[in-house]
Copies of this chain bind each other. A is one copy, B any other.
Amino acid sequence: MPQSNPNPAFGAHLMAYAGIPSFMRLPVSRELDGVDVAILGVPYDSGAASWRSGTRFGPRQIRANSLQLWGYNRLLDVDPLAVLRAVDYGDVEVEPTSIAVTSERITAVTAEILATNTHVIALGGDHSITYSLLKAHAAHYGPLAVVHFDSHTDTYQRVGHLEHGTPFLLALEEGLIDKTAYVQVGIRGPMEEPTDLEDARGLGANVLTIEECFEMGMTAVNQHIHHLIGQRPTYVSLDIDAVDPAFAPGTGTPEVGGLSSFQILQLVRGLAGLKLVGFDLVEVSPPYDHADITSILAANLVFEFLSLLASARQKAVPHQ
């Protein structure tokens, strides 16, 4: 169990059921001096316009289930909290009745963090928040390469306005995403129109359907991503419904026929080597979870995000 929190009240030495649940017992702080990465909760679920709400409890439950995580990533060979200085930045003050107000606040808080050269790992909340996160990141880094794990394209032109089915539509339309380096992984399920995939591709998405993923194998999917993106600054957005409902039932719009937990871990670890600058993990809906298995998976994936950042840092400073 991680011991990076200097405040004994947080329970650095405690077991997972004890203590105040910040992410991996990180210090809860908004001081970013010298901080490499900030965990940021975005407990907003009114963007879930299509089916179930409940993701407003995602950040809290992911934090609670992060406490069982041990610190060393065997496969990436790194102890992220030993390499990186990290904080739990708490949550954005969202406004459930207005996506406009909420979106501005998300972008503002994110910009504030990025301005100190601290990376953000955002915990959703529904997928609409990614638009606001990308806005701040693009303002800081320019148009971004994006790796987008999802069962849905989230580029639905018929909807038009911002909700959880359109963050990438708006981000593409506003030039926040580098259209030559935007890959969608895991797309599946019935479509609204025959042209849905074509439309997504026309907007700039490099779409890998779940059938293509399973046929290629996870290693080839990662090679495809690396080949497409190269060393562009890259943002990772992971909608937990990319994973099959058996492994991630606690989500708002579950789509059957998806990835296993092992496969999503493979895919995320396989991003090592990209120039990763920002992350979000969205659509964890605790009221629909059981035994917290979705939040546990999410906490593990955030640990992989941290490990990817740490691994890049470690390689940049080989003699450390």
**A residues whose Cβ falls under 8 Å from a Cβ of B:** 1, 7-11, 13-22, 28-30, 41, 43, 45-54, 56-57, 59-60, 63-64, 68-75, 77, 79, 87-99, 128, 161-163, 189-194, 196-197, 209-211, 214, 244-247, 249-250, 253-254, 256-258, 260-262, 265, 287-291, 293, 296-297, 300, 303
Contact = CB atoms under 8 A, between A and B. Distances in A.
Given A49-B95, A70-B192, A245-B296, 15 more contacts: A14-B91, A15-B49, A16-B50, A18-B94, A20-B20, A49-B96, A50-B68, A72-B193, A73-B191, A74-B196, A245-B293, A249-B293, A254-B293, A256-B296, A257-B261
Contacts of A250: 291
Most buried by B among A17, A128, A189: A17
Contacts of A60: 17-18, 21, 64
Copies in the complex: 6
Contacts of A17: 43, 51-52, 56-57, 60
Contact of A256 (B16, B89, B194, B261): B261
A256 B247 contact: yes
Nearest to A263: B257
B43 A18 contact: yes
Contacts of A287: 52, 54, 287-288
A73 B262 CA distance: 28
Most buried by B among A7, A90, A287, A291: A291
A-B pairs with lowest CB-CB distance, top 4: A9-B90, A46-B46, A53-B53, A249-B291
A261 B209 CA distance: 16
A170 to B, nearest CB: 13
Contacts of A192: 1, 70-72
A74 B190 contact: yes
Main secondary structure of the interface of A (DSSP, over half): loop
Contact of A291 (B7, B47, B71, B288): B288
Nearest to A251: B291
B257 A265 contact: yes
A194 to B, nearest CB: 5
Contacts of A128: 97
B244 A244 contact: no
B97 A15 contact: no
A210 B260 CA distance: 14
Contact of A99 (B57, B97, B288): B97
Contacts of A190: 69-74, 300, 303
22 contacts: A8-B90, A10-B90, A17-B43, A17-B57, A18-B43, A19-B90, A20-B28, A20-B90, A21-B60, A45-B53, A52-B57, A53-B53, A73-B190, A73-B191, A96-B163, A245-B261, A247-B256, A254-B293, A256-B262, A256-B297, A257-B261, A258-B261
B98 A98 contact: yes
Nearest to A257: B262
